[in-house]
Structures are given as C-alpha cells and as structure tokens.
Amino acid sequence: MLSLADSNLSDNSLQARLADVPRNTILLLEDIDAAFVSRDASKTVNTAHGGLSQVTLTGLLNGLDGAVGSEGRITFLTTNYPDRLDPALIRPGRVDVKQFIGHCGYSELERLFIKFFPDVDPAMSAEFASLVTQQPNKVSPAQVQAHLLVNQDSPRDAIHDARNIQNL
C-alpha cells in the first residue's frame, strides 16, 4: 500500500518502491486525479493532512514506465475525473485501455445478483433486475453491491427491498 499524498514519499522513494514490484503483478493507483492537478501544479500537492507531497508528475511517470518500470506489470489507474488527468499520464503506451464504469443495466444487475446468490432460481435475478431498472434513477455497481451485502442472508429480502437501493 502506497499513498502518493504521503508527505514522506519522494520521487526517489516512489521509484524505489515501484522497482520492487515483482513481475506479473497488478498495480492499482486509486484516485490518480487527486495526486496532481496539472503538470504545472504537480511540483508539490497539498495533502489532506496539511503536508506537501514530494512526488512530482515526472517522478510518477518515470516510476511507471521509465528505467525502473517493470515488464509484465499491469497498472490500473482509477479516477472520477478523467478530464483532469495530464495528457502525458494517459498517453497511448502508458494507458492502453480506458474503461468507463457507469450505471448498471439489466444484465449487470442480473449478474451481480447471481454473484451474491449463485444457487437461487434464475427467475429471482431477473425479478431483481426488473425491479431495479424500473426505478426513476439509475444505480451504480457500488450501490447494488452495498444493497446485496446488506441483504446477503436473504435473496428474497434483496428483491423485496430493491427499491431502496438508491437510498444507500
């Protein structure tokens, strides 16, 4: 676990940590948009704890695919604001696939229900998906997952309370 906002983390220590990541590893950098506002503002970033991050955009880029970049590593970057990311960070070769994860459709709702309740009658997953898609507002996978976790002991309750997903 590594926080780019850590005031004790520098470009050198970040690159050393990334160099230690073994081959054939999945690396996850969550909320990458919060690490740097822009190339100009990336020299130091205020952290939530009042310190200053010592990691620069250049340091991160070199750590990801510079001399210390590791072969066979898959890196996932998550963001709620892709438009805030520096073009150098998301250029082809660094980011090869962009995947938007939006609201759940009928088939995603069915599959999520089945993941939580694999042994139930498939008609129950269809009933759940139908009830959720009839709601006026769309729901995210996180909302559905939270709802199913709350009702993990009873698929019937998960269906019965399906209209409450938006209240989580």
φ, ψ for residue 138, nearest 5 deg = -75, 160
DSSP state of 42: G
* Domains of the chain by residue range: 11-84, 106-167
Residue 113: both structure tokens together: 């229900």
- Give the Cβ contact number of residue 53 at 10 Å: 23
Tens-level pLDDT at each residue, the chain (168 residues): 777 877 788 889 888 888 888 888 898 888 888 775 445 544 444 444 445 667 888 888 888 887 666 677 888 999 888 998 999 999 998 899 999 988 999 999 999 999 999 999 999 999 999 999 998 889 999 999 999 999 999 999 999 999 888 765
Q: Report how far residue 30's alpha carbon sits from residue 133's, in angstroms, rounded to the nearest whole number.
A: 29
pTM above 0.85, yes or no: no
CA atoms within 13 Å, Cβ hemisphere of 137 = 11
The DSSP element (H or E) to which 53 belongs, if any, is strand 52-53
Q: Report how far residue 99's alpha carbon sits from residue 39's, in angstroms, rounded to the nearest whole number.
A: 23
Residues in Cβ contact with 38 at an 8 Å cutoff, skipping those fewer than 6 apart: 84, 86
